[in-house]
Structure 1
Amino acid sequence: MRELAGRQEDERHALALEHAAAGIERAGHQEVIPGGDGQLAEELRYALGADVLLGATHTGALPDLAPGERLPLVAVCALAAAMPSCVLGDLPREVTLLADGLDAATTADRTATAGANSTYSG
């Protein structure tokens, strides 16, 4: 996701993608608070929301995403957002499924991004 952020001409779109990348990291680590309710903070839910696809509001354009990059981005954000409640609910099978899905979505995103980067640089 940070590679996608680095590819954006509009800094506002880059920032939205950077926030999503940080949100993914937080959802899998810092947001898993023993004794917590498994709900993401509002700002984190926002970072993992539609902005990852739509970019910053009021820019008049969408972020520069290649075909094949959008669906893995949505999957990564949705899976990351679901992770804290499964961890805190002590649902090991569900956590494993989410982690496997997160790995698969991340791999799909990296593959799409690598293809897009070769197109942009070639």
Structure 2
Amino acid sequence: MTTLPTAPLLLHTPALDEAKAPKDQVQRAAELAALHRAAGAGEAAAAWVRELAGHQGEEDHGRLLERVAEAIAQASSREIIPGSNGLLTEELRCTLAADVVLGASHTTGTLPELHAGERMSLIAVCAIAAAMPSCVLGDLARELEVLAAELDAATAAGRAASEALAG
């Protein structure tokens, strides 16, 4: 008589649950650290964009850059919602679009007072901030750490360009 192999019986045991708990806690701690890092990078980027806003001769350009700064801060913090679809609202997408370097030229007839290094850095900062919420669809901690580092680098390049032009 042949016997059929049987599947091992899986039982709920506290030891198995305890072994999983530290891994979950480590993952959650890494995600929280990445969320804080992203928010910090976003605030630094927003502060630089607010400085750009303060240097504008045209009030409309300054107001637009202030909105961009707020959108950067929001996209790099409050919009990163684990469990969400990772998409930005249409308003935030439009505010962070690359045409930010055109400012309010449709109403002023002029471009914002930005120099080449500032323009490129501003575009990079906006693109990186806009990408941050989508990290919830993948490996949140790892991807957000990468984007936060890139946001810091883009901000540093923009600040360096601003300082070089001022000095």
For normalisation by structure 1, the TM-score amounts to 0.88
Note if 1:11 corresponds to 2:59: yes
Q: Deviations over 1:96-115 (max 9, x none)?
A: 22111101000001111112
User: Hey, what's the Cα distance between the residues in 1 that align with 2:81 and 2:60?
Assistant: 31
- Report how many aligned residue pairs link the two structures: 117
Instruction: Check the 8 A contact 2:96/2:130 in 1, yes or no.
Output: yes
2:134 is matched with which residue?
85
**Please, which of 66, 69, 73 is the counterpart of residue 115 of structure 2?**
66
Q: Which amino acid aligns with 2:66?
A: E
RMSD value over aligned CA atoms? Answer: 1.3
Runs of 4+ aligned residues of structure 1 deviating over 3 Å after TM superposition are none
CA distance in 1, matches of 2:98, 2:116: 17
Considering only CA atoms, is the larger Rg found in Structure 1 or Structure 2? 2
**Amino acid in structure 2 at the alignment position of 1:15:** R
Counterpart CA distance in 1 for 2:123 and 2:60 is 19
Question: Residue 52 of structure 1: CA displacement?
Answer: 2.0
Q: Secondary structure at the match of 1:30?
A: coil
Q: Per the alignment, do residues 80 and 108 of structure 1 end up closer, same or farther by CA in structure 2, a change over 3 Å counting?
A: same
Task: State whether residues 16 and 51 of structure 1, in contact with CA within 8 Å, keep that contact through their aligned partners in structure 2.
Answer: no
Q: 1:111 maps to what in 2?
A: 160
Paired residue type of 1:31: E
Q: Where is the helix percentage greater, Structure 1 or Structure 2? A: 2
Worse overlay, 51-60 or 68-77 = 51-60
Shift of 1:117: 2.5
Give the residue type in structure 2 aligned to 1:2: R
**Alpha-carbon distance in structure 1 between the residues aligned to 2:166 and 2:103:** 19
**CA gap 1:103/1:76 in 2 versus in 1, 3 angstroms:** same
* Contact 2:98/2:127 (<8 A) preserved: no
- Structure 1 position 53 matched with structure 2 position 101: yes
Q: Tell me the TM-score normalised to structure 2 length.
A: 0.66
Match of 2:22 in 1: none
1:59–1:50 distance in 2 versus 1, CA, 3 Å: farther
Q: Structure 2 unaligned runs (5+)?
A: 1-48
Q: Percent identity?
A: 53
Amino acid in the other structure paired with 2:115:
A
